[in-house]
Structure 1
Amino acid sequence: MDLKLKDRVAFITGPAKGMGAAVTLAFAAEGCRLALVGRDTGAIGPVAEEARAKGAEVIVLGCDLTDAAACEVAAAKTLAAFGAIDILVNIAGGSGPIGKTGVETTPEEFDDIVTLNMNGCFHTMRAVLPGMIARRYGKVVNVGGTFGMRGRAGRMAYSASKWGLRGITKSFALEVGPHNINVNCVAPGMVDGPRFREKVCANMAAKLNITVEEAMERHAADYALRRVTQDEDVANACLFLASDVSRQLTGIDLPVDGGWAML
């Protein structure tokens, strides 16, 4: 199926590694022009080069996503370079404290993760949506998480931030729908990679006195498909929601988790 994304301009936050890099390269392969946005431009550089090797036009923009003014500047630079922003993919985010109960979580830890995971998406949406409204076209894909759909003991702060992102997504979807703009949320489950293995699985392994591999197997056993999500699974979901194939979907949460949130 041709997703007809060639020459669409995609503004992608958090593109440097993991699922962010996979999403970036997937959009590059579809022929999109890319604005890659994040605080550490040095880390984004190698992914930008890979995208260019696939034939994509790419600009790299340094931006602190928790700074609303900086997000507006990044959007303006993208418009100056490409003339429009068709797609916004908000991937940047953090995990917050892992293995801490709500009582053990400090106010500073809570504020930090809520600010990053909610305010960052809010700021970029405010920056790019006026242009989308003026052109009567746009796709916004926020990357949330299934812990924002079911909650999770030991991940209260992260869960709260992703529940909040769902509310942001659904409210914006109602507001900009009349302007032919779709706003949706992809909700990955556990995604295989360094953060999952070295933080989540390592934490479980230490608590239960098991190996990291055994911890991974325990996580996979919770899912209907008995496998952990890969970066490419998230990338494919983002492509789908950024394309006109999904033109009649807005305000939805799309779990990409092998069957956990629905159980």
Structure 2
Amino acid sequence: MELHMQGQVAVITGPAKGMGAAITRAFAEEGVDLALFGRDTDAIAPVAEECRAMGRRVEVVGCDVTDAAAVDAAVASVVETFGRIDILVNVAGGTGPIGKTGTETTAAEYDEIVSLNMGGPFHMIRAVAPHMQGRKFGKIVNVGGTFGMKGKAGRLAYSSSKWGLRGLTKSFAIELGGDNVNVNCVAPGMVDGPRFRTKVVPEMARRLGITEEEAAERHAADYALKRVSTDEDIAAATLFLASDRARQLTGVDIPVDGGWAAL
């Protein structure tokens, strides 16, 4: 199925590593030009070079997405450079405190993760949407998480922020739909990568007294498909929602988790 995205312009936040880098490469492979936002521009540089090698136009933009004024200025610079923004993908986010109950979580810890996981996408959409509305075209994809669909003890701050991102997605979908702007959310479950292999799996192995291979298999057994998602799985779902093949989808949450959230 052809996605027909060649020559479009996408703004992607958090593109330096993991699923953000995989999403960035996937868009470049589809012929999309890129504006890559992040605080650490040096970390983004290798991914940017990969995409330029595919023949894409790529600009790396230093920006703290929790700073509304910085976001406004960065988006204005992209519009001036590229002439338009067709797609916005909000990947940038954090994990917040792990293993703390709600009463153990400090106000500062809670505020920090909510500011990043909810405030960042809010500032980005608020800045980008008027440009899309003016052209009567746009695709916005927020990257959430399945803990924002089922909740999770010991992850209250993170879970709250991702639940809030779902509300933000649905509200913006209603407000922007009349201008032909789609707003959707991809919700990854656990993703097989450095954190899974160096933290999640070893911790489970130590706790249960089993090998790391057995721990990885037990983790996968929690999912209907009996496998853990990859960065490329998340990228594929994001790419689809950002294409016009998904023209009739807006305000939806798509869990990409092998069936965990559905069970």
CA distance in structure 2 between the aligned counterparts of 1:153 and 1:55, rounded to whole angstroms: 45
Deviation at 1:103, TM superposition (A): 2.4
The amino acid across from 2:132 in the alignment is M
Partner of 1:79: 79
Percent identity reads: 69
Deviation at 1:211, TM superposition (A): 4.1
CA distance in structure 1 between the aligned counterparts of 2:76 and 2:217, rounded to whole angstroms: 46
Partner of 1:17: 17
92 and 171 in structure 1: CA distance in 2 versus 1, 3 angstrom threshold: same
The amino acid across from 2:181 in the alignment is I
Partner of 2:213: 213
CA distance in structure 2 between the aligned counterparts of 1:242 and 1:164, rounded to whole angstroms: 21
Partner of 1:241: 241
Deviation at 1:248, TM superposition (A): 0.2
Deviations 1:72-116 (A, max 9, x none): 111111111110000000000011112222222222211111111
Deviation at 1:212, TM superposition (A): 3.8
Partner of 2:164: 164
The amino acid across from 1:97 in the alignment is P
CA distance in structure 1 between the aligned counterparts of 2:53 and 2:166, rounded to whole angstroms: 35
Partner of 1:62: 62
7 and 61 in structure 1: CA distance in 2 versus 1, 3 angstrom threshold: same
Partner of 2:119: 119
The answer as to whether partners of 1:98 and 1:200 remain within 8 angstroms in 2 is no
Partner of 1:97: 97
3-state SS in 1 of match to 2:171: helix
TM-score (normalised: structure 1): 0.97
The amino acid across from 1:111 in the alignment is D
* Structure 1, gaps ≥5 residues long: none
TM-score (normalised: structure 2): 0.97
3-state SS in 1 of match to 2:84: coil
* Structure 2, gaps ≥5 residues long: none
Partner of 1:180: 180
Aligned-CA RMSD value: 1.2
| Mapping for residues 37-52 of structure 1, pairs under 5 Å | 37-52=37-52
Partner of 1:259: 259
Deviation at 1:199, TM superposition (A): 3.3
Partner of 2:5: 5
The amino acid across from 2:115 in the alignment is T
Matched pairs, number: 263
Deviations 1:167-219 (A, max 9, x none): 00000000000000000000001011112233333443444344443332222
